[in-house]
A and B are shown apart, each in its own frame.
Chain A
């Protein structure tokens, strides 16, 4: 039933300008990948990307901070877009998310392959967790040290999703444009 309700909200992402380095210390950048809402409007586990983004933004806002959504099309690597988002973010903190739902929280002074929190098994991330990710990212941005969000583990995640995840990754590579800079997005839900 909830799935049906989720389908009803449509996410509209409108490019405004090339993303600039932010100066507001109360902002958290949400870096989305090339195919987010373009290639698919839901995660690998069938969760609506409109709801995912809405929950993450709400999570940031509930901490009193402002989310800023930026799309990267020149690179698909989650560690890379997460880190570059953090560098654009006035607070130095970002959330990175790929279309399939894999998510992390990054910080500007780390290297790509480390991060503050990583959620590698996309299918196990529910909307409540996405909200918590937004909230935790904002807490890091405020200089706090929140308890990390528990990470799920399921021996049957590989049988169900590994091949599909590879397929999605390859499909998303077709949305790549190495010459295009990261773009600032205006977000609306219809």
Chain B
């Protein structure tokens, strides 16, 4: 920047062109130009094509007509003109019995109910689950961001907030993944999500993550986001415990481009349900616009359709809040507000919400923190979906908004504001022990299955590593052969339990068996379920931990032991030491 001074110092400016090129700049503006936020992509609104976060002039007005218990007109469209999303939503997502009553309620009055502590959640849900997409949007459009936070606090399904993490490695290094999963579990995440650099590695990375997580805390549920059929098979094998990356869209054209319909997605969901596996869908603002197929509608309206498609499929929850297209809503005015609004509508549909904050959208440290404040302050089922429990260079979801280098700062924010953010402070020694246990368990499983050995050198590197840069080289080609063998030989979670149990890892075996038993019991496929993570495999869900927030003195409070734990900061000064 200082170099820019030179032309002025040189003085003389014979030609007009030179004068233009060196027009004197404000030092203030030059400083501002250097800020990270100027690197972000920002776009002015263009409602004609749907480049608008909320309130497009092309969004339909809410309406419904019911005849003989069937919706024959919705949001200004007659049934014969419904596209397949309209039809699916009208027939399966909306409580028809209450629809006319719900639609008659004044949208602003209903918006006030959302933030009124005297109106309990059940009362809101009774009508919000009978509203059309346009009506849900019309209601939420009346809220400002503070009110959205208040409404989220009351409307999320499970009373106890939680968090999810990403555990990935740019090298797909299994030893590193096992160690990081163990640490992530210790740090308090209820769910861990893996994906791969090389698709064929998925069976081994999924296995490594699950073993690692069960070494950290028994009951952390794991997933591996890969191609849909593989993802389902890994779940059926017991290599994972849930799935999340089944995508739905807000316009028919985008669905069709993926050779899908709401019905085909429902069929896939039933594959998980029939095996007792937890699953949720994924959607989020911007995906339709990314394909140029937003039909001029606002991102929030299209997302409301996605939310109701999810509801209609009978799926218990949804991951939304921009997700992989997050940099599209955040490029336009009110985009970050829109993202919080779509989380809120998901809660109003009585679904679990994994609320985004999971993909890079900005170069700015401040902006990435501000973006997650609504979900963080209100608390959601999973505030991040997920938080990168590895350095972002290892994050195979192309980077999350917070990563492992932010662990202390995120804990401090919870300590500062007395907010449950879903992670907890942990000391180095405990972390190292868990990481070692995890990699050694994986080493044993690999040895027993005859897979490429995890050397003692790799074990040690994984225990102490921050990321894959500290890991010795490992042959991906050989691991892929082992992964193919795992699938061909029909190895299941039960085989892994047996190996662990007979080789000195009874505790880990018990936890892994607990995960498998959870699927047989099926309790954790209830809405917004998690295992407490204390090795007892007690399910906490919207059924036995319903959100009963109704103002001060009610709902979830960060108090008692949990709060005492948050106060621990490893570099805080103890007055008694001075």
Q: Find the residue from B49, B51, B292, B326 having the highest chain A CB count within 10 A.
A: B292
B371 shortest CB reach to chain A, Å: 11
B317 shortest CB reach to chain A, Å: 25
Q: A155-B398, A155-B399, A159-B360 are in contact. Are A170 and B289 (CB under 8 A)?
A: yes
A155/B395 in contact, CB under 8 A: yes
A164 to B332, CA, bound (A): 11
Binds A, one of B39-47, B115-123, B429-437: B39-47
Q: Which residues of B contact A162 (CB under 8 A)?
A: 41, 286, 290, 325-328, 331, 361
Instruction: Scan A139-172; emit 1 where CB is below 8 A from any B CB, else 0.
Output: 0000000000000010111111111111101100
A163/B41 in contact, CB under 8 A: yes
B423 within 8 A of A: no
B494 shortest CB reach to chain A, Å: 36
B360/A158 in contact, CB under 8 A: yes
B363 within 8 A of A: yes
| Interface residue tally for chain B (C-beta within 8 Å) | 30
A157 to B360, CA, bound (A): 9
A190 shortest CB reach to chain B, Å: 22
Q: Which residues of A contact B286 (CB under 8 A)?
A: 162, 166
B359/A166 in contact, CB under 8 A: no
Instruction: Scan B376-395; emit 1 where CB is below 8 A from any A CB, else 0.
Output: 00000000000000001101
B477 shortest CB reach to chain A, Å: 15
Q: How large is the interface on A (under 10, 10 to 19, 20 to 34, 35 or more residues)?
A: 10 to 19
B362 within 8 A of A: yes
Instruction: Scan B24-51; emit 1 where CB is below 8 A from any A CB, else 0.
Output: 0000000000000001111100100101
Q: A163-B42, A163-B327, A166-B328 are in contact. Are A158 and B361 (CB under 8 A)?
A: yes
Instruction: Scan A17-36; emit 1 where CB is below 8 A from any B CB, else 0.
Output: 00000000000000000000
Chain B residue at smallest Cβ distance from A172 = B292
Q: Which residues of A contact B331 (CB under 8 A)?
A: 162-164
A140 shortest CB reach to chain B, Å: 22
B362/A159 in contact, CB under 8 A: yes
B361/A160 in contact, CB under 8 A: no
A163 to B326, CA, bound (A): 9
Chain B residue at smallest Cβ distance from A76 = B292
A120 shortest CB reach to chain B, Å: 11
B360/A155 in contact, CB under 8 A: yes
Residue in B43, B289, B327, B332 whose CB lies within 8 Å of A159? B327
Q: Which residues of A contact B398 (CB under 8 A)?
A: 153, 155, 157-158
A173 within 8 A of B: yes
A163/B292 in contact, CB under 8 A: no
A166 to B330, CA, bound (A): 13
A162 to B398, CA, bound (A): 13
Binding site for A on B (CB under 8 A): 39-43, 46, 49, 51, 286, 289-292, 325-328, 330-332, 359-363, 392-393, 395, 398-399
Q: Would you mind naming 24 contact pairs between A and B with Cβ atoms under 8 Å apart?
A: A155-B393, A156-B363, A156-B399, A158-B359, A158-B398, A159-B40, A159-B41, A160-B41, A160-B363, A162-B286, A162-B325, A162-B326, A163-B41, A163-B42, A163-B327, A165-B290, A166-B290, A166-B292, A166-B328, A167-B43, A167-B51, A169-B291, A170-B49, A170-B51
